[in-house]
Amino acid sequence: MKRLNSQLQDDGAPAELILLLRTLLAGCKEISFRVSQGALAGVLGSTLSENVQGETQKKLDVISNQILKDILQESGYVKAISSEEEDDVVGCHPNGNYLVSFDPLDGSSNTDINSLIGTIFSITHAPQWMEPDDPSAFIQPGTQAVAAGYVLYGPSTMLALTTGKGTHIYTLDKTHGGFLLTTPNIRIPEQTSEYSINASNQRHWQPHIQNYISDLIAGTQGPRKKDFNMRWVAAMVGDIHRILTRGGIFMYPYDEREPDKAGKLRLLYEANPMAFLVEQAGGTADTGTGRIMEVMPTDIHQRVPVLIGSKDEVATCLEYSA
């Protein structure tokens, strides 16, 4: 079976980017081990501290963030990082050539129920003129990313990775400690009969999203004339993994509760990396008003609405707002 290094070389990834990815993934392997220890490692449960979005942190969030921060800071390849668990940009090496944005443990409330969680990341070039702690360096659209991926901590530990030459899926072989290529060039089916949305927010959705979901629920008796199934992992990393594997549409749409917050999910370390992976697998990633990867960020913790998945189904959803 092909190893990660060999696939990255075949995809033409520069040597330094390969070294950076291997460093980042070494951190993810440590997170994978900690996660698998569960309650035995004494790491489950909440701390009293709150992160910048006001959510209660789990101890594993803090531990995972520290692991990635330390390993990237020491690597020398990285000029700065932005993380869901850090209020501000964290400066690293002044001569580092890359910027890394990450959500160290997406879906962390799932740790309480031993369910899917993961690390999501995106890598761009570091502008040479910037100081390491200058947040304006991160004001780049997703189209500038040179690599993006996630590591899913489930029954097996899996990696989805793109450097712009397709999206490849790897599985961690715990016998030798490396990621092996298990699905090269994964393709998302263009059509689907599966959707994913937190339906408890229904009353806050805009009318066209309400109409679209009503028509999915109406199934064979509605205008779509087919039955749809619904799945919700409550961790974007799990929902997007399912969509890469067998298709579907995942939505966290604009929410009228807080008009100044455009959505729930964060652009830099959730929406953009998933959009890159999904587009490279033949799917679509839209905010409802345009391509996610073309959104120019205004802030490192910016939120965006997200409609991601099977090409034809996302297109159908977008027709409802026309």
Binding region for ligand AFP (CB under 6 A): 55, 106-109, 198, 234-236, 265
Nearer to ligand AFP, 15 or 113 (CB): 113
C-alpha–C-alpha distance, residues 251 and 83, integer Å: 23
Question: Could you tell me the smallest distance in angstroms from the CB atom of residue 295 to ligand AFP?
Answer: 17
CA torsion sign, 285 to 27 to 102 to 132? negative
Residue 161 has phi, psi (to 5 degrees) of -145, 140
Nearer to ligand AFP, 29 or 266 (CB): 266
- Sort 164 into a burial class: Cβ within 10 Å, 0-12 / 13-18 / 19+: middle
Contacts of 167 (CB under 8 A, 6+ apart): 160, 161, 185, 186, 244, 277, 278, 280, 281
Question: Could you tell me the smallest distance in angstroms from the CB atom of residue 275 to ligand AFP?
Answer: 14
Question: Could you tell me the smallest distance in angstroms from the CB atom of residue 53 to ligand AFP?
Answer: 8
Nearer to ligand AFP, 80 or 152 (CB): 152
Question: Could you tell me the smallest distance in angstroms from the CB atom of residue 233 to ligand AFP?
Answer: 7
Q: Crossing angle, helix 236-246 and helix 272-280, to 10 degrees?
A: 10
Nearer to ligand AFP, 51 or 192 (CB): 51
Q: Report the residue closest to ligand AFP, judged by CB.
A: 236
Nearer to ligand AFP, 38 or 184 (CB): 38
Question: Could you tell me the smallest distance in angstroms from the CB atom of residue 27 to ligand AFP?
Answer: 17
DSSP conformation letters of 255-288: BTTSTTS--SEEIIIIIHHHHHHHHHTT-EEE-S
Q: Crossing angle, helix 59-75 and helix 15-37, to 10 degrees?
A: 150
Contacts of 155 (CB under 8 A, 6+ apart): none
Question: Could you tell me the smallest distance in angstroms from the CB atom of residue 134 to ligand AFP?
Answer: 27
Nearer to ligand AFP, 109 or 143 (CB): 109
